[in-house]
Amino acid sequence: MIGLLPAFVVIPLIAAFILPLFGKKGKDAATILANAVILLLLVLAVVAVYSGKQGIYEIGDWSIPLGINLVLDGLSALMLLAIATVATAAMLFSARYMEQYTAKAKYLSLFLLMVAGMNGVVLSGDIFNLFVFLEIASLASYALVGFGCGHEELEASFKYMVLGSVGSIFILFSVGLVYGHTGTLNMAYISQTIQNNGGLNAGLTFALALFIVGFGLKAALVPFHAWLPDAHPSAPAPISAMLSGILIKTLGVYALSRVVFNIFGVSQATGWLIIVLGLISMIIGAFLAIGQEDLKRLMAYSSISQIGYVVLGIGLGAALIQKGEDKLASLAILGGLFHLVNHAVYKSLLFLNSGSIEMATGTRRLEQMGGLAAKLPYTRATCAVASASIVGIPPFSGFWSKLILIIAAILAGYYWIAAIIVFVSLCTLIMYLKVHRYVFLGQLPEKLQNARENKGTMLFAMAFLACLCILMGLLVIIPGLKEAVLDPAVKVLTGGFEYSRFVIGPGG
């Protein structure tokens, strides 16, 4: 398995380089090729998770820190699986959905570049390499947001590009600072150098702050969220699903937690900073979402709120590790990571639903819809599953992750955090009831009499994710699964500096 690690990056990259060569005539071949690549990645990711193998891959046969290494540990494996799952569904959905646009081969190429970039970020063991792949994924997403080329899309894309570049510059500057201080770019060696010299000095603290701001911008946490409500609705539906479902988590949450936990080491201050960011995101995102009249915009604000849960769990873990309560910390982090995976599944499903609705009705305005339950039965059913899941109704996946977060908060003695989690869940309930009320129930407008559902791959993609929504709950109920999938990832974060010993080896 370890020998196959570069395949996660190189296969989509080569496919993306070849795809633009397919012209208009080779459109179907291009679609098949792209789908095959994504499916292959899914298979590889499943193998990576289930084989449970961990290790490092040294590129070019140069031992670290001379060369660049790829690291596969529990967290990377979990993220790879999440990326591949969402990408599979979005790709299947695109096959039919993207027929409304031109330049499909280039769309597929950009899609694969985004996936390659995210895989690269997740696997990289080198901080500059992480930045490079983060840029690839970001650039591809800027272009994909503006894919429709309308005024609104281009404006959103431009706004996203400006803020995204500001985030990237913060990260790059911080990488430079870290290199100046430690003389190495390898994440494990940076971590080791920091440990050997007794923690952070002023320069490294500033670098950490810059990292938090930069990755916070990529994750759209609340003071830095301005781009998301424009960008996510403007993109084509499968891309919205990718952006909300997985991109903000890979570039934001994953990179943030890798840097905070494994490189710089957690402290009480960073822990609470992250908790506060998470809480603000949860509350403000939920409040803003309720007022929206645009279906996809509502979901975009809801993403901000949901990413808050993930960040809250991770921040709570950071704060608790520092207090020495390792068991509680791993519970909180488990909640956060589990919510991350859950949200990846149900939010991408919701955006695919919105795509299906938009394709049938031609609008995203809630007040122009109504009574679509009869016209779009499958969309309605999958949307109901996803909504139940995001709200946290018991058998569905969202319930379990929220429950874990609440239990962790209560056991740690932060009752007010638990209260906020419940309160935001209620807000989420209101916003998705609103969606169902306006879209599926009520009177069917005259204009929409001819609306009909798109079957085929689009439906299959939605059904696939809906099944996952239900099955994900089993992850915590069936004993073996949690140990295989989630626990290794949690262990990476709670382990903290173990990461450097794992990469460098016992001798280093």
Task: Choose, by CB under 8 A, the member of 1, 27, 55, 106 that binds other proteins.
Answer: 106
Do 114 and 94 touch, CB atoms closer than 8 A?
no
Give me the 124-143 binding string for other proteins, x by CB under 8 A, dash otherwise.
Answer: --x-xx--xx-xx--xx-xx
**Rounded to an integer, what is the distance from CA 277 to the centroid of its chain?**
17
- Helix or strand holding residue 442 (H, E): none
Q: Which helix (H) or strand (E) holds 47?
A: helix 27-51
Chain positions 49 to 78 lying near other proteins, rule: CB under 8 A, are 57-62, 65-68
Distance CA 422, CA 414 (A): 13
Question: Which residue number, 239 or 300, has a Cβ lying nearer to other proteins?
Answer: 239
Structure tokens at 86: 């969402």
- How many CB atoms sit inside 10 A of residue 464's CB? 18
* Burial bucket for residue 234 (CB in 10 Å: 0-12, 13-18, 19+): buried
Asked if 268 interacts with other proteins (CB under 8 A), we say no
Using rule CB under 8 A, residue 99 touches other proteins: yes
**Distance in Å, CB of 345 to other proteins, minimum:** 27
Q: How far is the CB of 102 from other proteins (least distance, A)?
A: 6
Q: Which of 201, 223, 327, 437 binds other proteins (CB under 8 A)?
A: 201
Tell me, residue by residue from 4 to 33, as one string, x for binding to other proteins by CB under 8 A and - for no binding.
--x---x--xx-xxx-xx------------
Q: Which stretch binds other proteins (CB under 8 A): 190-198, 225-233, 248-256, 422-430?
A: 190-198
**What is the spatial distance between Cα 205 and Cα 222, in angstroms, rounded to a whole number?**
22
Residue from the set 80, 91, 113, 344 that interacts with other proteins by CB under 8 A? 113
199 part of the interface to other proteins, by CB under 8 A? no
DSSP-based three-state secondary structure for 375: coil
Q: How far is the CB of 128 from other proteins (least distance, A)?
A: 7
Q: Which is nearer to other proteins, 16 or 217 (CB)?
A: 16
Look at residues 293, 153, 161, 273 and name the one whose alpha carbon lies nearest to residue 216: 273
Please spell the DSSP secondary structure of 275-316, one letter per residue.
HHHHHHHHHHHHHHHHT--BHHHHHHHHHHHHHHHHHHHHHH
Give the residues lining the site for other proteins (CB under 8 A): 6, 10, 13-14, 16-18, 20-21, 57-62, 65-68, 99-103, 106-107, 109-110, 113, 116-117, 120, 126, 128-129, 132-133, 135-136, 139-140, 142-143, 146-150, 154, 157, 177, 180-186, 193-194, 196-197, 201-203, 206
